[in-house]
Chains A and B, each alone.
Chain A
Amino acid sequence: MALWIFVVFLSALVFAVPIAVSMVIGAMTPLFLGGTGSSIQQLIANSFSGSDTTPILAVPLFILGGVLMAEGGISRRLFNFFAYFVGNLTGGLPCAVILTCLFYGAISGSGPATTAAVGSMTIPFLVDMGYDKTWSAGMVATAGGLGVIIPPSIPFVLYSLATGVSTGALFLGGVLPGILIGLCMMVYAVIYCKRKGENKERINAKMTELRSKGFLSLLKESFWALLSPVIVLGGIYSGIVTPTEAACISVFYSLFVSMVIYKSFTVKEIIPFLGNAVKTYAPLCFVLAFAIAFGRVLALAKAPILIENFILNNFSTSITALTGIVVVFLLLGMVMDTGPAIVILSPILLPAVQALGVDPVHFGVIMVCCLSIGLATPPFGLDLFVAGTLSSLPPMKVAMKAMPFIIAFGIALFIITYIPWFSLVFL
């Protein structure tokens, strides 16, 4: 029966039936075949009760907080702050861009939004400083994906909703892997700059200009943006607020910073931002609701046990099993959105890898890292297209120059997969 459900579900996906609807059709398969499954009424009740939880509210709230904060023009402030420290070094400015992506992503939580905001400012700037345009675009496209790994991150919230693993633990688990990936990319950027050489004269002139502003004034400008992840994470780990409440606080903190401190918009202009947030999370809402109902049908059909047996029979160690899963995720990330992939697959696969001794938090980190590369890989990596649009270059050209960065990302990914320490050290 479980096999039939998968066959029906996958064939629906192939015919471009929306993922949420494919799950409903898949969940109804046992009824058509006269087997035991949920009735349609149970299906409706399950998708209702699956949405009736407080943790799920963190999804729309974090997205809204990110949309509001992104309007505060903070990408330039963050970039100036990081450039102050590393701008003079070889490859320093590209590194500052990667650092900006890291932090900006933490605030916005969306890869394409990070690429757009950071890229719109830094690509022209890097070109002005004498760096190759396509290379700069490729770098921002890849680094934009870092945002979903550094907490607070929507994919981690989704993984937590689907598996019941603590959101706070996942957020902590994502910190070091995110930094590691950023480091690997920076190493490549520095090597590239050493080889190709840099226009030191222009860079030094800019740096002197920037340094003349003084560290304190730069800190003052970027302080409020830098504080945002600290407030959210600090609130969660000190136990003062739940992740959902932290998400709500991030909404009002972003409103406060954007309206009162940076004065980038007024009360009247809030509604379009709400509309933007709705546009981002609405497609996820019922994918989540139906995924929960679909998951219950799969559990009834004993699918998780079948998968567990399959993996245990074919892979003897967690290392080989994880390698297989990573490859599947990487391929999947190329054609499917991160959110649905996580909510559908994590509950099915987690029991199997847990049986092999993999920590649930570690597995969540691996999954999110794998799928987030998909944003920067052809054919449909949205980040590539955003970077291409920004720099008026064909996305596939950007993809070519992004390749070394993606490989750097991949190296970090394999380190993260094989050494659980990176994901679990803070727990």
Chain B
Amino acid sequence: MNGLKWLNKHLEEAILVFLLATISCVMMAQIIARTFFNSMTWPEEFSRYCYIWTVFLSLGYTIKKGNMLKVGIVMDLLPQKLRKRIEIIVNVIMLVLFVILLRYSIIYTGKVKSSGQFSPAMHLPMWIMYMSTIIGFALAALRMVQEIISNIRNFNKKAETTLEATIKEAKQEVQATGIAVNDNDGLMGGED
């Protein structure tokens, strides 16, 4: 159960962190290899595919974290109840959209599989890369369902305005440096 809870909280994040670390290391290895030995073709392709997985997995991640980029200024002006209702409708539309995209990504990936395409450098079957669209949209739909449930449950709680979200973001930004700040108390003093 705890494992499931952890997955619910961190699944996409953990994969995204892993992919970022992999991209950095593989690209660096490629630069070193190119400078001192022979240029390799696979690292670039491999990094690109890692990034494509990042793109589609980031959907579920940002829904979960609630930090999708949007323009909230008009909605902030509406009364609470109306705003909440619109929010739920928008979320349901998004859910439908992700399900549609999921359906078509399954069809498209099937097509790629039957066409027998291979990647140019690593000779991996291309359908493995297109699996990212299926898994990405499936996770996005799942996260959307979770979001809608929490929307309905918290219907009577006050919705977060863009202003409040900005304040929260600012606080996080300050906290991110907070640790470093305490180390640097002696402003002009510095370490000797």
Among A20, A48, A288, A390, contact of B133 (Cβ-Cβ < 8 Å): A48
B74 near A16 with CB under 8 A, answer: yes
Q: Is A386 an interface residue (CB 8 A)?
A: yes
List residues 73-113 of chain B with CB under 8 A from any CB of chain A. 73-75, 86-87, 90, 93-94, 97, 100-101, 104-105, 107-108, 111
Residue A275 contacts which of B13, B28, B97, B183 (CB distance < 8 angstroms)? Answer: B13
Once the chains bind, are A44 and B55 in contact (CB under 8 Å)?
A: no
Decide if A385 is an interface residue (CB 8 Å cutoff). yes
Q: Could you say which of A17, A209, A241, A289 has the most chain B C-beta atoms within 10 Å of its C-beta?
A: A17
**Which of B1-9, B45-53, B148-156 touches A?**
B45-53
Docked complex Cα distance between A285 and B93 (Å): 21
Within 8 Å by CB of B27, from A113, A116, A248, lies: A248
Which residues does chain B contribute within 8 Å of A125, judged by CB atoms?
A: 187-188
Cβ of B116 within 8 Å of any chain A Cβ, yes or no, is: no
Q: Please, which residues of chain B bring their CB within 8 A of the CB of A288?
A: 55
Given A113-B173, A241-B31, A64 and B20 touching (CB < 8 A)? yes
Residue A45 CB within 8 A of the other chain: yes
CB contacts (< 8 Å) of A83 on chain B: these are 188
With A16-B74, A380-B166 in contact, is A116–B55 under 8 Å at CB? Answer: no
Q: How far is the CA of A71 from the CA of B180 in the complex (A)?
A: 7
Name A291-350 residues within 8 Å CB distance of B.
335-337, 339-340
Q: Which of B69, B94, B108, B166 contacts A45 (CB 8 A)?
A: B108
Q: Check if B173 sits within 8 Å of A44, measured CB to CB.
A: no
Given contacts A40-B100, A283-B68, A335-B73, contact A206 B188 (CB under 8 A): yes
* Given A278-B13, A287-B69, A380-B163, A44 and B176 contact (CB-CB distance below 8 Å): no
Q: Spell out B's residues near A (CB within 8 Å).
A: 13, 16-17, 20-21, 23-24, 27-28, 30-31, 44, 47-49, 51-52, 54-56, 58-59, 61-62, 65, 67-75, 86-87, 90, 93-94, 97, 100-101, 104-105, 107-108, 111, 129-130, 133, 162-163, 166-167, 169-171, 173-174, 176-178, 180-181, 183-184, 187-190
Task: Jot down 24 A-B pairs with beta carbons below 8 A, ordered by A.
Answer: A24-B101, A25-B97, A41-B108, A44-B105, A51-B55, A54-B44, A57-B47, A73-B183, A76-B184, A113-B173, A116-B174, A221-B190, A275-B13, A276-B176, A278-B61, A279-B67, A282-B61, A282-B65, A283-B69, A285-B55, A286-B55, A339-B69, A389-B171, A395-B167
